[in-house]
Structure 1
Amino acid sequence: MDFLELLQKRYTTKHYDSTKVVPDETVQKILECVRLSPTSVNSQPYHFYVLTGDTKQKVREAVMDFNQQRYDGASHAIVISSKKRIDEEHLKHVLEQETADGRLPTPDLVAAQDKSRHHFCNLHVDKGDFTAWTGKQAYVAFATMVYAAESYGVDSTALEGIEFDEVDRLLDLDSKNETCQLIVLLGYRAADDSNTTDKRPKSRLPLSYLTTYLN
């Protein structure tokens, strides 16, 4: 299946089969795909909390009523958080990883990369949109996650019908300099899921409406 077919096939699952669990190895493959997502200046300013069992149940209280049924039925709930402020320790880890991976083979390149990344981070601090900027990176990762899941035969749902501050409180995200951006559910659709494409065809605006070519 090519990528276009994957996008045509994938849909937002509304009803999950609670008896089916996504295997750990499949979850790890999905997360590995997410790890490889692009981010601005390779900042990777996010974290993924994979919830099952008691912790998933605890976070349920932050899920709005209309989403609780699908939340309960899903195998996993993944909280995607992003950084709220510049995190020097995190930026140091990114730089060390880049160096270890061979991207920065000389001290001059290490210094230049560090300076450039700090410049862009500080730019968004000065503009007052640092959290919005890191949130954008989280949504790129979200897109990777749901299409990676689809490629492995796993259904998914993005939840924004949640109490974000409550998720932050329940997972103590403020102490980690993070805030919840959204929750992604992973699982397997119920046989009677109401949102399958044969029942509710996918609808998007035509490319001619969304695209302008400028020479």
Structure 2
Amino acid sequence: MRVAQDLGKRSKSKRELPPIHLWNPDLCEGVDMRIGRDGTWYYMGSPIGRKPMVRLFSTILRREEDAHYYVVTPVEKVRVIVDDAPFVAIYVDAEGEGPDQKLTFRTNVDDLVIAGPEHPIRVVIDTETGEPSPYVHVRDRLEALIGRSVFYELVELSVERVLEGDPVYGVWSNGGFYPVGAYVDTVDDETADGEASKGEDREDARTN
């Protein structure tokens, strides 16, 4: 596979991202590449166990206008099936407080991203299960799925604000505020039913 060969040639300069926006090679058919929801890369059905190779692949990953992902070199490109997001945020560091707070995420391929206007956080709620899927923008059209334990840390750091008339919980980072969940009323149904029952009893007492 020429993609792997080209990557090997670039291993010495892997700290710099290649200019993949300048490359427009032909599509190479018949190559099965996939990224699982947990960030594991697969080649022809088998996981790629070498982290340096995964890191190199991640530097030449591109999402194009057709919404598909491709590993791109100057001579060819291979489509990559992505189960969710191409990266996973596995660590977050919080520095400062309030609007001055900065949240720095580290991904499974060692990218460091400071959340903010250029790298916003968003949370998608599954309409059927109610489960949140949080993401942070990494670069271009690429995002990282925020891991569950990291998301719990964000929830711990969240503060309440009123947005468009509704209270929400969110986190500050680099001057931006990013909702991580809606305000939840602490009065449960049983308590509400009890209060309603007491109100009815008081109404009956007044009429008797």
Report the TM-score, using the length of structure 1 for normalisation.
0.22
Higher strand fraction (1 or 2) = 2
Higher helix fraction (1 or 2) = 1
Larger-gyration structure (1/2): 2
Report the TM-score, using the length of structure 2 for normalisation.
0.23
Q: Which has the higher contact order (CA 8 A, sep 6+)?
A: 1
